[in-house]
Protein backbone atom coordinates (compact mmCIF):
# COMPACT_ATOMS: atom_id res chain seq x y z
CA UNK A 1 0.00 0.00 0.00
CA UNK A 2 1.23 3.50 -0.88
CA UNK A 3 1.97 6.09 1.81
CA UNK A 4 -0.56 8.90 1.70
CA UNK A 5 -0.09 12.40 3.02
CA UNK A 6 -2.25 15.45 3.47
CA UNK A 7 -0.16 18.12 1.75
CA UNK A 8 -2.46 21.15 1.58
CA UNK A 9 -5.66 22.55 3.03
CA UNK A 10 -7.75 25.70 3.07
CA UNK A 11 -10.93 26.96 4.62
CA UNK A 12 -13.07 29.78 3.29
CA UNK A 13 -14.35 32.51 5.55
CA UNK A 14 -17.40 31.39 7.50
CA UNK A 15 -20.60 33.27 8.20
CA UNK A 16 -24.22 32.81 9.21
CA UNK A 17 -25.29 33.78 5.69
CA UNK A 18 -22.67 34.49 3.01
CA UNK A 19 -25.11 36.12 0.60
CA UNK A 20 -22.33 37.28 -1.72
CA UNK A 21 -21.12 33.71 -2.30
CA UNK A 22 -22.47 30.84 -4.37
CA UNK A 23 -21.56 27.22 -3.58
CA UNK A 24 -19.30 27.40 -6.64
CA UNK A 25 -17.44 30.51 -5.53
CA UNK A 26 -16.87 28.98 -2.08
CA UNK A 27 -15.63 25.73 -3.61
CA UNK A 28 -13.32 27.54 -6.01
CA UNK A 29 -11.74 29.57 -3.25
CA UNK A 30 -11.29 26.52 -0.97
CA UNK A 31 -9.77 24.33 -3.70
CA UNK A 32 -7.43 26.97 -5.12
CA UNK A 33 -6.38 27.85 -1.57
CA UNK A 34 -5.64 24.21 -0.74
CA UNK A 35 -3.68 23.76 -3.99
CA UNK A 36 -1.67 26.92 -3.27
CA UNK A 37 -0.80 25.69 0.20
CA UNK A 38 0.31 22.31 -1.21
CA UNK A 39 2.48 23.63 -4.02
CA UNK A 40 0.67 21.38 -6.50
CA UNK A 41 -1.39 22.70 -9.39
CA UNK A 42 -4.66 21.34 -10.69
CA UNK A 43 -2.84 19.63 -13.56
CA UNK A 44 -1.03 17.43 -11.03
CA UNK A 45 -4.29 16.14 -9.58
CA UNK A 46 -5.78 12.77 -10.61
CA UNK A 47 -8.99 12.58 -8.67
CA UNK A 48 -11.51 14.93 -7.09
CA UNK A 49 -13.75 13.68 -4.31
CA UNK A 50 -16.40 16.05 -3.08
CA UNK A 51 -18.94 16.03 -0.31
CA UNK A 52 -22.20 17.89 -0.53
CA UNK A 53 -25.84 17.47 0.31
CA UNK A 54 -28.19 17.75 -2.64
CA UNK A 55 -31.03 18.51 -0.29
CA UNK A 56 -29.17 21.29 1.48
CA UNK A 57 -28.07 22.53 -1.94
CA UNK A 58 -31.51 22.49 -3.53
CA UNK A 59 -29.88 20.96 -6.61
CA UNK A 60 -30.11 17.36 -7.79
CA UNK A 61 -26.80 15.54 -8.34
CA UNK A 62 -25.10 18.75 -7.26
CA UNK A 63 -21.61 17.59 -8.21
CA UNK A 64 -22.59 17.96 -11.88
CA UNK A 65 -23.09 21.66 -11.17
CA UNK A 66 -19.91 22.10 -9.15
CA UNK A 67 -17.46 20.17 -11.39
CA UNK A 68 -15.92 23.32 -12.89
CA UNK A 69 -15.48 25.04 -9.54
CA UNK A 70 -13.73 21.95 -8.14
CA UNK A 71 -11.29 21.75 -11.02
CA UNK A 72 -12.72 18.33 -11.84
CA UNK A 73 -13.31 18.69 -15.59
CA UNK A 74 -12.27 15.41 -17.21
CA UNK A 75 -10.85 14.06 -13.95
CA UNK A 76 -12.08 11.09 -11.97
CA UNK A 77 -14.76 12.86 -9.92
CA UNK A 78 -17.11 11.31 -7.44
CA UNK A 79 -19.28 12.51 -4.63
CA UNK A 80 -19.97 11.46 -1.09
CA UNK A 81 -23.40 12.30 0.31
CA UNK A 82 -22.06 12.70 3.81
CA UNK A 83 -19.38 14.52 5.74
CA UNK A 84 -16.25 15.57 3.88
CA UNK A 85 -14.08 13.45 6.18
CA UNK A 86 -15.61 10.42 4.51
CA UNK A 87 -14.62 11.95 1.16
CA UNK A 88 -11.05 12.18 2.52
CA UNK A 89 -11.19 8.47 3.39
CA UNK A 90 -12.29 7.68 -0.18
CA UNK A 91 -9.43 9.79 -1.52
CA UNK A 92 -7.02 8.04 0.84
CA UNK A 93 -8.14 4.65 -0.49
CA UNK A 94 -7.77 5.72 -4.11
CA UNK A 95 -4.20 6.85 -3.50
CA UNK A 96 -3.28 3.97 -1.16
CA UNK A 97 -4.42 1.55 -3.86
CA UNK A 98 -1.77 2.91 -6.18
CA UNK A 99 -4.30 3.67 -8.91
CA UNK A 100 -4.16 7.41 -8.23
CA UNK A 101 -1.31 9.59 -7.11
CA UNK A 102 -3.10 12.66 -5.84
CA UNK A 103 -6.54 13.97 -5.01
CA UNK A 104 -8.45 17.09 -4.13
CA UNK A 105 -11.10 16.63 -1.44
CA UNK A 106 -13.66 19.40 -1.07
CA UNK A 107 -16.79 19.84 1.03
CA UNK A 108 -19.17 22.75 1.23
CA UNK A 109 -22.50 23.82 2.60
CA UNK A 110 -24.72 26.86 2.58
CA UNK A 111 -27.09 26.09 5.40
CA UNK A 112 -28.41 29.65 5.22
CA UNK A 113 -30.16 29.17 1.89
CA UNK A 114 -33.03 27.14 3.31
CA UNK A 115 -34.30 26.14 6.73
CA UNK A 116 -31.82 23.92 8.56
CA UNK A 117 -34.56 22.81 10.96
CA UNK A 118 -36.66 21.57 8.06
CA UNK A 119 -33.59 20.04 6.47
CA UNK A 120 -32.60 17.91 9.45
CA UNK A 121 -36.23 16.89 9.94
CA UNK A 122 -35.99 15.01 6.63
CA UNK A 123 -33.29 12.83 8.17
CA UNK A 124 -36.20 11.10 9.87
CA UNK A 125 -37.80 8.54 7.53
CA UNK A 126 -41.42 9.27 6.57
CA UNK A 127 -43.12 6.27 8.16
CA UNK A 128 -42.32 6.62 11.82
CA UNK A 129 -40.02 9.28 13.26
CA UNK A 130 -40.97 12.00 10.79
CA UNK A 131 -44.58 11.99 11.92
CA UNK A 132 -43.26 13.33 15.23
CA UNK A 133 -41.17 15.98 13.52
CA UNK A 134 -38.03 14.64 15.18
CA UNK A 135 -34.93 16.47 13.94
CA UNK A 136 -31.19 16.56 14.66
CA UNK A 137 -31.55 18.86 17.65
CA UNK A 138 -34.37 16.95 19.34
CA UNK A 139 -32.63 13.61 18.74
CA UNK A 140 -29.49 15.16 20.21
CA UNK A 141 -31.39 16.43 23.23
CA UNK A 142 -32.84 12.98 23.90
CA UNK A 143 -29.34 11.55 23.70
CA UNK A 144 -27.91 14.29 25.94
CA UNK A 145 -30.31 13.45 28.73
CA UNK A 146 -29.74 9.73 28.35
CA UNK A 147 -25.96 10.24 28.58
CA UNK A 148 -26.08 12.70 31.46
CA UNK A 149 -28.43 10.51 33.48
CA UNK A 150 -26.45 7.33 32.84
CA UNK A 151 -23.23 8.78 34.22
CA UNK A 152 -24.47 11.49 36.57
CA UNK A 153 -23.03 14.23 34.36
CA UNK A 154 -24.24 17.64 35.51
CA UNK A 155 -25.29 20.49 33.21
CA UNK A 156 -22.23 22.42 34.42
CA UNK A 157 -19.91 19.85 32.82
CA UNK A 158 -21.64 20.23 29.46
CA UNK A 159 -21.61 24.01 29.78
CA UNK A 160 -17.87 23.88 30.52
CA UNK A 161 -17.30 22.38 27.05
CA UNK A 162 -18.82 25.50 25.50
CA UNK A 163 -16.63 27.73 27.67
CA UNK A 164 -13.48 25.80 26.70
CA UNK A 165 -14.21 25.70 22.97
CA UNK A 166 -15.47 29.24 22.60
CA UNK A 167 -12.33 30.48 24.34
CA UNK A 168 -10.18 28.47 21.93
CA UNK A 169 -12.15 29.86 18.98
CA UNK A 170 -11.13 33.41 19.85
CA UNK A 171 -7.67 32.63 18.44
CA UNK A 172 -8.97 30.82 15.35
CA UNK A 173 -8.97 33.15 12.33
CA UNK A 174 -11.45 30.85 10.57
CA UNK A 175 -13.97 30.63 13.40
CA UNK A 176 -17.40 32.14 12.88
CA UNK A 177 -17.88 32.81 16.61
CA UNK A 178 -14.79 34.43 18.09
CA UNK A 179 -16.16 35.69 21.36
CA UNK A 180 -15.61 33.84 24.62
CA UNK A 181 -18.52 32.97 26.89
CA UNK A 182 -18.65 32.43 30.66
CA UNK A 183 -20.10 29.43 32.44
CA UNK A 184 -22.84 31.67 33.76
CA UNK A 185 -23.72 32.92 30.27
CA UNK A 186 -24.00 29.36 28.99
CA UNK A 187 -26.09 28.20 31.92
CA UNK A 188 -28.39 31.21 31.63
CA UNK A 189 -28.82 31.02 27.86
CA UNK A 190 -32.31 29.87 26.85
CA UNK A 191 -33.04 26.18 27.00
CA UNK A 192 -33.81 25.43 23.34
CA UNK A 193 -34.54 21.73 23.81
CA UNK A 194 -33.87 20.48 27.28
CA UNK A 195 -31.23 19.85 28.45
CA UNK A 196 -29.53 21.68 25.55
CA UNK A 197 -29.17 25.44 25.91
CA UNK A 198 -28.63 27.93 23.12
CA UNK A 199 -24.92 28.42 23.80
CA UNK A 200 -24.42 24.64 23.85
CA UNK A 201 -25.45 24.20 20.23
CA UNK A 202 -23.28 24.86 17.16
CA UNK A 203 -24.02 27.89 15.00
CA UNK A 204 -25.47 27.77 11.48
CA UNK A 205 -22.61 28.34 9.08
CA UNK A 206 -21.97 28.84 5.36
CA UNK A 207 -18.54 27.86 4.07
CA UNK A 208 -16.25 25.33 2.43
CA UNK A 209 -13.06 23.43 3.14
CA UNK A 210 -10.65 21.58 0.86
CA UNK A 211 -7.61 19.38 1.39
CA UNK A 212 -5.07 18.03 -1.08
CA UNK A 213 -3.73 14.49 -0.60
CA UNK A 214 -0.83 12.85 -2.41
CA UNK A 215 1.17 9.63 -2.46
CA UNK A 216 4.46 9.48 -0.57
CA UNK A 217 6.81 10.28 -3.43
CA UNK A 218 4.96 13.42 -4.42
CA UNK A 219 4.41 14.47 -0.82
CA UNK A 220 8.12 14.16 -0.02
CA UNK A 221 9.12 16.04 -3.14
CA UNK A 222 6.92 19.07 -2.49
CA UNK A 223 7.14 19.48 1.26
CA UNK A 224 9.09 18.36 4.27
CA UNK A 225 6.05 18.92 6.45
CA UNK A 226 3.39 16.47 5.38
CA UNK A 227 0.60 15.23 7.64
CA UNK A 228 0.79 11.50 6.98
CA UNK A 229 -2.44 9.55 7.12
CA UNK A 230 -1.63 6.50 9.24
CA UNK A 231 -5.07 5.33 10.26
CA UNK A 232 -8.63 5.49 8.97
CA UNK A 233 -11.94 4.12 10.18
CA UNK A 234 -15.62 4.63 9.67
CA UNK A 235 -18.65 3.01 11.14
CA UNK A 236 -22.45 3.24 11.11
CA UNK A 237 -24.75 2.32 13.98
CA UNK A 238 -28.38 1.23 13.58
CA UNK A 239 -30.58 3.87 11.98
CA UNK A 240 -33.27 4.05 14.62
CA UNK A 241 -32.16 5.91 17.76
CA UNK A 242 -34.65 3.70 19.60
CA UNK A 243 -32.58 0.55 19.19
CA UNK A 244 -29.27 2.08 20.30
CA UNK A 245 -27.69 2.54 23.70
CA UNK A 246 -28.07 6.28 23.32
CA UNK A 247 -25.56 7.10 26.04
CA UNK A 248 -22.73 5.51 24.04
CA UNK A 249 -21.25 6.77 20.77
CA UNK A 250 -20.73 3.21 19.57
CA UNK A 251 -19.96 4.05 15.94
CA UNK A 252 -17.34 6.60 16.98
CA UNK A 253 -15.74 3.96 19.18
CA UNK A 254 -15.61 1.47 16.31
CA UNK A 255 -14.30 4.03 13.82
CA UNK A 256 -11.60 5.13 16.25
CA UNK A 257 -10.58 1.56 17.05
CA UNK A 258 -10.05 0.83 13.36
CA UNK A 259 -8.01 3.98 12.91
CA UNK A 260 -5.98 3.36 16.07
CA UNK A 261 -5.29 -0.25 15.12
CA UNK A 262 -4.05 0.77 11.71
CA UNK A 263 -1.93 3.60 13.13
CA UNK A 264 -0.57 1.45 15.97
CA UNK A 265 -2.08 3.69 18.64
CA UNK A 266 -2.58 1.72 21.85
CA UNK A 267 -3.22 4.46 24.38
CA UNK A 268 -4.77 7.49 22.67
CA UNK A 269 -4.54 9.67 25.77
CA UNK A 270 -0.77 9.44 25.90
CA UNK A 271 -0.01 8.87 22.22
CA UNK A 272 -2.19 11.52 20.60
CA UNK A 273 -1.15 15.13 20.98
CA UNK A 274 -4.59 16.48 20.21
CA UNK A 275 -7.98 15.61 18.78
CA UNK A 276 -10.31 17.58 16.57
CA UNK A 277 -13.84 16.22 17.02
CA UNK A 278 -17.30 17.06 15.69
CA UNK A 279 -19.30 18.23 18.69
CA UNK A 280 -22.53 19.69 17.35
CA UNK A 281 -23.70 20.04 20.95
CA UNK A 282 -21.61 20.27 24.12
CA UNK A 283 -22.58 16.84 25.50
CA UNK A 284 -21.22 15.18 22.34
CA UNK A 285 -17.66 16.20 23.10
CA UNK A 286 -17.92 14.51 26.51
CA UNK A 287 -19.39 11.36 24.96
CA UNK A 288 -16.58 11.37 22.44
CA UNK A 289 -13.88 11.50 25.14
CA UNK A 290 -15.11 8.09 26.16
CA UNK A 291 -15.73 6.70 22.67
CA UNK A 292 -12.36 7.87 21.35
CA UNK A 293 -10.57 6.26 24.28
CA UNK A 294 -9.44 9.27 26.28
CA UNK A 295 -11.12 8.05 29.45
CA UNK A 296 -13.07 5.18 30.93
CA UNK A 297 -16.82 4.88 31.07
CA UNK A 298 -18.43 7.80 32.87
CA UNK A 299 -15.15 9.66 33.40
CA UNK A 300 -15.51 12.32 30.71
CA UNK A 301 -16.56 15.16 33.01
CA UNK A 302 -13.63 14.35 35.30
CA UNK A 303 -10.96 14.67 32.60
CA UNK A 304 -12.53 17.87 31.33
CA UNK A 305 -12.54 19.31 34.85
CA UNK A 306 -8.94 18.23 35.37
CA UNK A 307 -7.97 20.21 32.28
CA UNK A 308 -6.70 17.15 30.39
CA UNK A 309 -8.51 18.19 27.21
CA UNK A 310 -8.11 21.93 27.66
CA UNK A 311 -5.39 24.26 26.38
CA UNK A 312 -2.02 23.15 27.71
CA UNK A 313 -3.59 19.90 28.89
CA UNK A 314 -2.20 16.45 28.26
CA UNK A 315 -4.40 15.87 25.20
CA UNK A 316 -6.19 19.01 24.02
CA UNK A 317 -9.50 18.43 22.26
CA UNK A 318 -10.63 20.98 19.68
CA UNK A 319 -7.83 23.53 20.00
CA UNK A 320 -9.54 25.21 17.02
CA UNK A 321 -12.68 25.81 19.04
CA UNK A 322 -14.43 22.97 17.28
CA UNK A 323 -17.90 22.88 15.79
CA UNK A 324 -19.31 25.14 18.52
CA UNK A 325 -17.38 27.97 16.84
CA UNK A 326 -18.25 27.11 13.21
CA UNK A 327 -20.35 24.40 11.61
CA UNK A 328 -20.09 24.55 7.82
CA UNK A 329 -22.32 21.50 7.57
CA UNK A 330 -21.01 18.71 5.32
CA UNK A 331 -17.53 20.29 5.55
CA UNK A 332 -17.55 20.11 9.35
CA UNK A 333 -15.53 16.90 9.69
CA UNK A 334 -13.16 17.78 6.85
CA UNK A 335 -12.35 20.97 8.75
CA UNK A 336 -11.24 18.72 11.63
CA UNK A 337 -8.76 17.05 9.25
CA UNK A 338 -7.50 20.42 7.99
CA UNK A 339 -6.97 21.59 11.57
CA UNK A 340 -5.34 18.32 12.67
CA UNK A 341 -3.04 18.36 9.62
CA UNK A 342 -2.04 21.96 10.33
CA UNK A 343 -1.22 20.95 13.91
CA UNK A 344 0.98 17.93 13.18
CA UNK A 345 2.83 19.73 10.42
CA UNK A 346 3.53 22.66 12.73
CA UNK A 347 1.54 25.10 10.62
CA UNK A 348 -1.35 25.87 12.99
CA UNK A 349 -0.23 29.42 13.78
CA UNK A 350 -1.84 30.84 16.92
CA UNK A 351 -3.63 27.55 17.51
CA UNK A 352 -0.44 25.47 17.50
CA UNK A 353 -0.26 22.79 20.18
CA UNK A 354 3.42 22.73 20.99
CA UNK A 355 5.28 19.71 19.66
CA UNK A 356 2.16 18.13 18.15
CA UNK A 357 3.10 15.04 16.15
CA UNK A 358 0.01 12.86 16.11
CA UNK A 359 -3.67 13.78 16.01
CA UNK A 360 -7.11 12.37 15.41
CA UNK A 361 -9.81 13.99 13.26
CA UNK A 362 -13.39 12.85 13.84
CA UNK A 363 -16.63 13.40 11.95
CA UNK A 364 -20.11 12.50 13.07
CA UNK A 365 -23.32 12.13 11.11
CA UNK A 366 -26.93 11.04 11.32
CA UNK A 367 -29.40 11.51 14.14
CA UNK A 368 -27.75 11.35 17.60
CA UNK A 369 -24.27 10.44 16.31
CA UNK A 370 -25.40 7.45 14.27
CA UNK A 371 -22.28 7.43 12.10
CA UNK A 372 -18.63 8.34 12.54
CA UNK A 373 -15.41 8.64 10.58
CA UNK A 374 -11.90 8.96 12.00
CA UNK A 375 -8.48 9.71 10.54
CA UNK A 376 -5.14 9.64 12.36
CA UNK A 377 -2.53 12.01 10.95
CA UNK A 378 1.07 12.32 12.06
CA UNK A 379 4.22 14.18 11.28
CA UNK B 1 -49.25 -9.02 26.41
CA UNK B 2 -51.84 -10.71 24.23
CA UNK B 3 -50.58 -12.88 21.43
CA UNK B 4 -52.32 -12.21 18.14
CA UNK B 5 -52.75 -15.23 15.93
CA UNK B 6 -52.42 -14.86 12.20
CA UNK B 7 -55.64 -13.82 10.50
CA UNK B 8 -57.11 -12.53 13.74
CA UNK B 9 -56.11 -8.90 13.24
CA UNK B 10 -58.95 -6.62 14.05
CA UNK B 11 -58.07 -4.08 11.38
CA UNK B 12 -60.07 -4.09 8.18
CA UNK B 13 -58.47 -1.57 5.85
CA UNK B 14 -54.79 -1.97 4.95
CA UNK B 15 -52.52 0.97 5.77
CA UNK B 16 -50.80 1.69 2.48
CA UNK B 17 -49.14 5.09 2.29
CA UNK B 18 -48.36 8.37 3.93
CA UNK B 19 -48.41 11.63 1.99
CA UNK B 20 -45.05 13.35 2.00
CA UNK B 21 -44.63 16.97 0.99
CA UNK B 22 -41.49 19.06 0.97
CA UNK B 23 -42.12 22.74 1.53
CA UNK B 24 -38.52 23.87 1.86
CA UNK B 25 -38.03 27.37 0.48
CA UNK B 26 -34.55 28.21 -0.80
CA UNK B 27 -33.00 31.64 -1.10
CA UNK B 28 -30.11 30.93 -3.47
CA UNK B 29 -27.51 33.70 -3.31
CA UNK B 30 -26.64 35.09 -6.73
CA UNK B 31 -23.17 36.09 -5.58
CA UNK B 32 -20.99 38.74 -7.17
CA UNK B 33 -21.02 37.54 -10.78
CA UNK B 34 -24.73 36.86 -11.29
CA UNK B 35 -25.44 40.14 -9.54
CA UNK B 36 -23.51 42.11 -12.16
CA UNK B 37 -24.85 39.95 -15.02
CA UNK B 38 -28.50 40.48 -14.16
CA UNK B 39 -28.08 44.14 -13.22
CA UNK B 40 -26.67 44.80 -16.70
CA UNK B 41 -29.66 43.05 -18.25
CA UNK B 42 -32.17 44.91 -16.11
CA UNK B 43 -30.66 48.39 -16.21
CA UNK B 44 -28.81 48.49 -19.56
CA UNK B 45 -30.43 45.79 -21.71
CA UNK B 46 -26.92 44.44 -22.03
CA UNK B 47 -25.63 40.86 -21.95
CA UNK B 48 -22.18 40.71 -20.36
CA UNK B 49 -19.70 37.86 -20.35
CA UNK B 50 -16.39 37.45 -18.59
CA UNK B 51 -12.96 36.56 -20.01
CA UNK B 52 -10.74 33.69 -18.84
CA UNK B 53 -7.27 34.97 -17.97
CA UNK B 54 -5.69 31.91 -19.60
CA UNK B 55 -7.59 30.88 -22.74
CA UNK B 56 -9.25 34.25 -23.29
CA UNK B 57 -12.62 32.57 -23.80
CA UNK B 58 -15.65 34.79 -23.15
CA UNK B 59 -17.86 32.87 -20.75
CA UNK B 60 -21.56 32.88 -19.98
CA UNK B 61 -22.88 33.02 -17.38
CA UNK B 62 -20.09 35.09 -15.82
CA UNK B 63 -18.23 33.21 -13.06
CA UNK B 64 -15.02 33.57 -11.04
CA UNK B 65 -13.15 30.84 -12.94
CA UNK B 66 -12.87 29.08 -16.30
CA UNK B 67 -13.71 25.42 -15.76
CA UNK B 68 -11.62 24.29 -18.72
CA UNK B 69 -8.40 26.05 -17.66
CA UNK B 70 -9.16 26.21 -13.92
CA UNK B 71 -7.88 29.77 -14.08
CA UNK B 72 -9.50 32.93 -12.76
CA UNK B 73 -11.60 35.21 -14.96
CA UNK B 74 -11.20 38.96 -14.80
CA UNK B 75 -12.28 41.21 -17.67
CA UNK B 76 -16.00 41.87 -18.21
CA UNK B 77 -17.09 42.01 -21.85
CA UNK B 78 -20.29 43.46 -23.34
CA UNK B 79 -21.77 41.07 -25.90
CA UNK B 80 -24.12 41.66 -28.76
CA UNK B 81 -27.74 40.67 -28.17
CA UNK B 82 -27.64 39.14 -31.62
CA UNK B 83 -26.24 35.79 -32.62
CA UNK B 84 -26.60 32.49 -34.48
CA UNK B 85 -28.97 29.67 -33.63
CA UNK B 86 -27.07 26.49 -32.74
CA UNK B 87 -29.85 24.11 -31.73
CA UNK B 88 -33.52 24.24 -30.72
CA UNK B 89 -36.45 22.16 -29.59
CA UNK B 90 -40.15 22.75 -29.83
CA UNK B 91 -41.76 21.88 -26.48
CA UNK B 92 -45.18 20.23 -26.81
CA UNK B 93 -45.32 18.59 -23.39
CA UNK B 94 -46.73 20.48 -20.41
CA UNK B 95 -44.69 20.27 -17.20
CA UNK B 96 -44.25 22.09 -13.91
CA UNK B 97 -41.97 25.11 -13.99
CA UNK B 98 -42.53 26.03 -17.63
CA UNK B 99 -42.09 29.73 -18.45
CA UNK B 100 -45.18 29.70 -20.70
CA UNK B 101 -47.79 27.28 -22.05
CA UNK B 102 -46.60 24.92 -24.80
CA UNK B 103 -45.97 24.91 -27.64
CA UNK B 104 -42.89 27.12 -27.40
CA UNK B 105 -39.26 26.87 -28.53
CA UNK B 106 -36.07 26.51 -26.45
CA UNK B 107 -32.88 27.53 -28.22
CA UNK B 108 -29.11 27.66 -27.71
CA UNK B 109 -27.66 30.75 -29.33
CA UNK B 110 -24.03 31.74 -29.93
CA UNK B 111 -24.08 35.47 -29.26
CA UNK B 112 -21.63 37.56 -31.28
CA UNK B 113 -18.51 37.94 -29.14
CA UNK B 114 -19.20 34.95 -26.85
CA UNK B 115 -17.47 31.57 -26.77
CA UNK B 116 -20.22 29.64 -25.05
CA UNK B 117 -23.86 29.15 -25.92
CA UNK B 118 -26.62 31.24 -24.42
CA UNK B 119 -29.84 29.39 -23.52
CA UNK B 120 -33.15 31.08 -24.27
CA UNK B 121 -36.36 30.86 -26.30
CA UNK B 122 -37.41 31.76 -29.83
CA UNK B 123 -40.48 33.77 -30.80
CA UNK B 124 -42.16 35.43 -33.79
CA UNK B 125 -41.48 32.37 -35.93
CA UNK B 126 -43.34 29.14 -36.67
CA UNK B 127 -41.42 26.02 -35.59
CA UNK B 128 -41.39 24.67 -39.15
CA UNK B 129 -39.61 27.80 -40.38
CA UNK B 130 -36.72 27.58 -37.87
CA UNK B 131 -33.32 26.75 -39.30
CA UNK B 132 -30.10 26.02 -37.41
CA UNK B 133 -27.61 28.75 -38.25
CA UNK B 134 -30.19 31.47 -38.67
CA UNK B 135 -29.51 34.89 -37.19
CA UNK B 136 -31.60 35.87 -34.18
CA UNK B 137 -31.87 38.93 -31.92
CA UNK B 138 -33.10 39.49 -28.37
CA UNK B 139 -36.49 41.06 -27.77
CA UNK B 140 -36.29 42.85 -24.42
CA UNK B 141 -39.14 43.22 -21.99
CA UNK B 142 -40.04 46.73 -20.86
CA UNK B 143 -40.65 45.61 -17.26
CA UNK B 144 -37.25 44.16 -16.38
CA UNK B 145 -36.54 42.62 -12.97
CA UNK B 146 -33.01 41.27 -13.28
CA UNK B 147 -33.74 37.73 -14.49
CA UNK B 148 -33.23 35.78 -17.70
CA UNK B 149 -36.82 36.76 -18.59
CA UNK B 150 -35.78 40.38 -19.01
CA UNK B 151 -35.38 39.05 -22.53
CA UNK B 152 -38.79 37.94 -23.85
CA UNK B 153 -37.29 35.68 -26.49
CA UNK B 154 -35.05 35.86 -29.57
CA UNK B 155 -36.65 36.61 -32.93
CA UNK B 156 -35.30 36.10 -36.46
CA UNK B 157 -33.32 39.07 -37.76
ZN1 LIG C 1 -9.96 29.30 -19.92
Distance B65 CA to ligand 1 centre (A): 8
A58 and chain B in contact, CB less than 8 A: yes
Q: Is the domain of A184 the same as that of A40?
A: no
pLDDT score at B20? 86
Best interface-test mutation with A: which of B15, B18, B24 has the largest number of A CBs within 10 A? B24
| Domains in chain A, number | 2
Which stretch of A340-349, B11-20, B56-65, B75-84 has the lowest confidence by average pLDDT?
Answer: B11-20
Interface test with B, best of A17, A28, A59, A62 (most B CBs within 10 A): A28
Q: Containing domain of residue A342, as a range?
A: 116-203+229-378
Instruction: Provide the CATH number for the domain around residue A349.
Output: 3.40.47.10
Pairwise CB contact (< 8 Å): B25 & A69:
no
Contact of B57 with chain A, judged by CB distance below 8 Å, is answered with no
Measured between beta carbons, the chain B residues lying within 8 angstroms of A40 are: none
- Same domain? A145 vs A76: no
> Is the domain of A290 the same as that of A356?
yes
* Residue ranges covered by each domain of chain B: 31-156
Q: What is the pLDDT of residue A61?
A: 87
Query: What confidence tens digit (pLDDT) does each residue in A44-98 have?
Result: 999 999 999 998 888 888 888 899 999 999 999 999 999 999 999 999 999 999 9
Lowest mean pLDDT among A124-138, A218-232, A239-253, A308-322: A124-138
The Cα B134–Cα A54 span in angstroms is: 39
Give the per-residue SS3 of A171-200.
Answer: CCCCCCCCCCCCHHHHHHCCEEECCEEHHH
Last residue of a domain, one of A221, A248, A266: A221
Distance B71 CA to ligand 1 centre (A): 6
* Statement to judge: residues A327 and A368 lie in one domain: yes
A119 reaches B (C-beta below 8 A):
yes
CB contact under 8 A, A22 and B29: yes
Q: A372 and A264 in one domain? A: yes
| Residues A185, A83 within the same domain | no
* pLDDT of A332 above 70: yes
Mean pLDDT of chain B, nearest integer:
94
Kindly state the average pLDDT of the residues B42-63. Answer: 98
Average pLDDT across chain A, whole number: 96
Contacts of the segment B117-124: beta carbons below 8 A, 24+ positions apart: B117/B60, B117/B86, B118/B47, B118/B60, B118/B83, B120/B148, B120/B151, B120/B153, B120/B154, B121/B153, B121/B154, B122/B85, B122/B88, B122/B153, B122/B154, B122/B155, B123/B152, B123/B153, B123/B154, B123/B155, B124/B153, B124/B155, B124/B156
Residue of B nearest to A71 (CA): B70
Residue B34 with chain A: CB contacts under 8 Å: 22
Do A162 and A247 sit in the same domain of this protein? yes
Segment A191-201 mean pLDDT:
97
Whether residues A169 and A27 fall in one domain: no
| pLDDT beyond 70 at A309 | yes
Kindly give the distance from the C-alpha atom of residue B119 to the centroid of ligand 1, in angstroms, as a whole number. 20
Chain B residue nearest residue A114, CA to CA: B26
A15 and A53, same domain (yes or no): yes
* Residues of chain A found within 8 Å of residue B67, distances taken between Cβ atoms: 67-69, 73
Contact A119 B22 (CB under 8 A): no
B29 at the A interface (CB within 8 A)? Answer: yes
Q: Which residues surround ligand 1, an ion (CB under 5 A)?
A: B 52, 54-55, 66, 68-69
Count, in order, helices (H) and strands (E) of chain B: 1, 9
> Which residues, other chains included, contact A71 with Cβ-Cβ below 8 Å and sequence gap of 6+?
A31, A32, A35, A42, A45, A48, A104, B70
Reported as a pLDDT band with limits 50, 70 and 90, residue B7 is low
How does residue B9 score in pLDDT terms, banded at 50, 70 and 90? low
- Please tell me the distance between residue A237's alpha carbon and the centre of ligand 1 in angstroms: 46
- In this structure, are A139 and A53 located in the same domain? no
- The separation between CA A10 and the C-alpha centre of its own chain, rounded to angstroms, equals 14
The torsion defined by the Cα of B64, B66, B71 and B76, in degrees rounded to 10, comes to -50
Taking the CA atoms of A43, A45, A49 and A52 in sequence, report the sign of the dihedral they define: negative
Q: Quick one: A353 and A258 in the same domain?
A: yes
Q: Contact A18/B29, CB-based, under 8 Å?
A: yes
How far is the centre of ligand 1, averaged over its atoms, from the C-alpha of A193 (Å)? 51
Over range A181-190, report the average pLDDT.
98
Would you call A268 an interface residue with chain B, using a CB distance cutoff of 8 Å?
A: no
Distance B73 CA to ligand 1 centre (A): 8
pTM of the model: 0.95
Nearest CA distance, B69 vs chain A (angstrom):
8
- B96-123 pLDDT, tens per residue? 899 999 999 999 999 999 999 999 999 9
B-chain residues near A75 (CB < 8 A):
none
In terms of domains, do A130 and A81 share one?
no
User: Would you place residue A374 in the very low, low, confident or very high pLDDT band (cuts 50, 70, 90)?
Assistant: very high
Closest by CA position to B82, among listed B122, B109, B120, B51: B109
C-alpha A173/C-alpha A54 separation (Å) is 29
Does residue B137 register a pLDDT over 70?
Answer: yes
Amino acid sequence: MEDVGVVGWAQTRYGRALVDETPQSLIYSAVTGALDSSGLSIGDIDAVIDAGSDFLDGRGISSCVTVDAMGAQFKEESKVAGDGLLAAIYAYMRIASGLFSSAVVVAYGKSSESSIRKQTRTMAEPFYLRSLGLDALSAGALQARSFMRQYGIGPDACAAVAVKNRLAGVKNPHAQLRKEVTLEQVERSPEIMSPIRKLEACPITDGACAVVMAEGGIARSISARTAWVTGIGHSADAYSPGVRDLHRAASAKRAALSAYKMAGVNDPLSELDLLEVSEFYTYQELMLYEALGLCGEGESADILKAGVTGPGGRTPVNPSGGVLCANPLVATGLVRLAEASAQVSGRAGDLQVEGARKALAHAGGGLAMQTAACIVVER
Amino acid sequence: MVELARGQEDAREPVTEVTGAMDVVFKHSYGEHYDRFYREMRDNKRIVGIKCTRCGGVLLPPRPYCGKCYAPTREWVALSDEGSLLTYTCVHLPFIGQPTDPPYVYAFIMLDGADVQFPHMLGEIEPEDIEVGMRVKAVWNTDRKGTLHDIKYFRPV
